[in-house]
Structure formats: structure tokens, C-alpha cells
Amino acid sequence: MGSTTRTPQELGYRTPAEWEPHAATWLSWPRREGISFPGSFDRVLPTLRTMVAAIVESEPVCINVVNGAHEAEARAVLDTLPHQECIAYYEIPTNEPWCRDHGPIFLTRADDPKLAVVDWDYNAWGGKYPPCDLDEVVPTRIAEILKVPVFYPKMILEGGSIEVNGAGACLTTEGCLLNKNRNPDLSRDEIEKRLRDFLGVREILWLGQGTEGDDTDGHIDNLARFVSERTVVAIAEKDRSSPNYEPLQENLRRLREMNLDIIELPTTRRVVREDLVLPMSYANFYIANTVVLAPTYADPNDEVALSILRKCFPARRVIGIDCRELIWGLGAFHCLTQQQPMA
């Protein structure tokens, strides 16, 4: 199927919205020798444990590990959790833990095979964090385990750079997808065509730039997220002196022109750690079957953001989890997770 000339869209596939039913959540367990949590690897493990504990209340969790020793490291953190029958380990080596970006994008359709995987090319956020050779092949490895077809768009794309509503619309940003460090030989029109062909969407909705400290060049999952087919939550900066004020106001302006219902999420205070501005965002939540994992930062706006998300997801339990150590890796729960939809 990977060599077929017919695209997923032509074959009737689409990318489901995140709130549609999941068969599982995929994670890539971090490596102590990795670069994501310099000097704080042990301090981030309790957050990962809390994250997995919340997800297994909702659905199975599939965890990529390098080898048996790495699995043992993960088990040392997770083996005392309830619902062990819902945790499975797979020997799929990775460089870093950000499964949203290097993991598969899953597609579904009514006909058999119902499930498929898109394996986009991957260069570690524009070549910023080599090596990424292990991460680059993760989607195909997962497809082999699941015995599902794979499609190869031959375009660099991270999962955190796109947001779909399951009904034909895809939100993304110019700051990331049009950045020359991703696909310098592809025009905007060519990128849009690949998104339509391989995600099974019709509308490509472009926002502009990301926020200060975001090393992804503006991933959509730090800026604006669908919470229903025509409703988005979007980060809004009220402080005119903030470097984020103008780009976030511009993104809100564009969203209004799209005739979407917009619910504004607050920003956090600005935090600098070892000369790095941390890209703390309440938009980096993860929607599981029965729960929503929401990042908190011991910030005055934590409860405001949680209250907003609880109104957006009245049928799910919204769980706020402290991400002050996790964000040192420049990502939160959405960056770590990748949902496998029900086939």
C-alpha cells in the first residue's frame, strides 16, 4: 500500500478529530542520555507517571522503548500503577520522547483496511536537535506491528504542527509549515495539496507565527485547538508589552475571519530558565476517551484555564497536572502523546 499511486483521500481515508474514540495512546519513553531534559531527567519522571496513570483510566497505553533495559527503567516508574493490563511495551527505539511529532498520523475509513498510517518525513524541528534517525522511522515500525498500510507523502511534517476537526478542516501555521528549514523545495500550494491528499481534509486554515521560546517555529498545538467541529480554543495575550501580543492578536484576527467560534485561553507569566524562555501553553492539552490532560504551571491563570477546558469538555474529567519540570523539555502532554483511533 505504501507504493500505491492512489492517495489516502482518494481511497476514502480521513484523519479523525482527537475527541473521537481511541483504541490506544502511544508514547515514547524518554532516554536518560537524551537531550530533552538536561539535568532534570529524574525530576520529570513523576510527571510522566501521573500522565500515564490518568490515561490508563481512559484507554490502553502503548509505550515505545529502546530495549529490555529501557523497558525496565520505564517499569520502575509505572509498575505500581493500577490497570497494568492496559500498559504494553514495544521495542521501537526512539531518540527523544515527543511522540506527537515523530509518531504516526493515523487515518480511518469505512472500508477494510479501516486503519492506516501516514509516515511523514522528520528532521527534528528543522534540524535543530540531531540525531533523529530512530525517531524518523517510528511510524512505519508501529504500522508493521499493527499490520496496517503505510503512506509516504515525502514531506517533512511534525504531528504538533497540524490540528484537524475530523470534518475536513486542518489548522496549521505559516511559521512552521512554510519555514525553509522544513520543506524548502515545496511551495505553499504543494504543501496544501499534500495535506489534503494525505490527511483527507478539504480546508487548510493558516495562522501566522508562534510564541516566544517555542523552538518548533510555531506548532499549532501551542496556539489553537479544535474542541468541536467549528469551535477552537486559542491562546490570547492581554499584555500589550509582551512580545507575544502582536502574533497572538494576529492569529485571533485570522480565526475570526474563518467564521469559527473562538474561546480564548489565557497566557501564563513569562518564565526564563537558564536563559531559555519556556513555551508554557494551556493549549497543549491531550484529549483521551474519558479524560483531558491539561498542563498547569503553578500560575495564577491555572484555574482560569482549567475552568474553560471543563466547560469545553463536560463529558470528560479535566485533570490539571503540574508541568513545570516537563516544560523544561519545551513541550507538554500533547507533544508526548499520539492517539490511535478506533478502526
The CATH code of the domain that includes 155 is: 3.75.10.10
pLDDT value at residue 296: 98
Tens place of pLDDT per residue across the chain (343 aa) = 444 589 999 999 999 999 999 999 999 999 999 999 989 999 999 999 999 999 999 999 999 999 999 999 999 999 999 999 999 999 999 999 999 999 999 999 999 999 999 999 999 999 999 999 999 999 999 999 999 999 999 999 999 999 999 999 999 999 999 999 999 999 999 999 999 999 999 999 999 999 999 999 999 999 999 999 999 999 999 999 999 999 999 999 999 999 999 999 999 999 999 999 999 999 999 999 999 999 999 999 999 999 999 999 999 999 999 999 999 999 999 999 999 999 9
What's the chain's length in residues?
343
pLDDT value at residue 125: 98
Q: Is residue 159 part of a domain?
A: yes
Q: Is residue 302 part of a domain?
A: yes
Q: Give the pTM.
A: 0.97
Reported as half-sphere exposure (CB side, CA atoms, 13 A), residue 210 has a value of 25
Helices (H), the chain: 41-56, 68-78, 99-102, 124-127, 133-136, 138-146, 174-177, 188-199, 245-257, 302-312, 333-336
* Whole-angstrom distance, CA of residue 204 vs CA of residue 193: 9
- Kindly tell me the burial class for residue 49, based on how many C-beta atoms sit within 10 Å of its own C-beta (0-12, 13-18, 19 or more): middle
Q: Is residue 17 part of a domain?
A: no
Angle, alpha carbons 326-298-253 (nearest 5°): 85
User: What is the tally of structural domains in the chain?
Assistant: 1
Q: Is residue 112 part of a domain?
A: yes
Q: Which residue range(s) make up the domain with 135?
A: 22-341
Cα distances (angstroms) measured from residue 276 to each of 256, 270, 289: 32, 11, 34
Residue 262 phi/psi, 5° resolution?
-115, 130
pLDDT value at residue 2: 47
Q: Is residue 148 part of a domain?
A: yes
pLDDT value at residue 5: 81
Query: Which grid cell sits at 274?
Result: 537558564
Query: Which grid cell sits at 155?
Result: 514531506
Q: Is residue 10 part of a domain?
A: no
Q: Is residue 16 part of a domain?
A: no
Q: Are strands 169-173 and 163-164 parallel, antiparallel or unpaired?
A: antiparallel
Q: Is residue 4 part of a domain?
A: no
- Give the active site residues: 335
* Whole-angstrom distance, CA of residue 230 vs CA of residue 252: 15
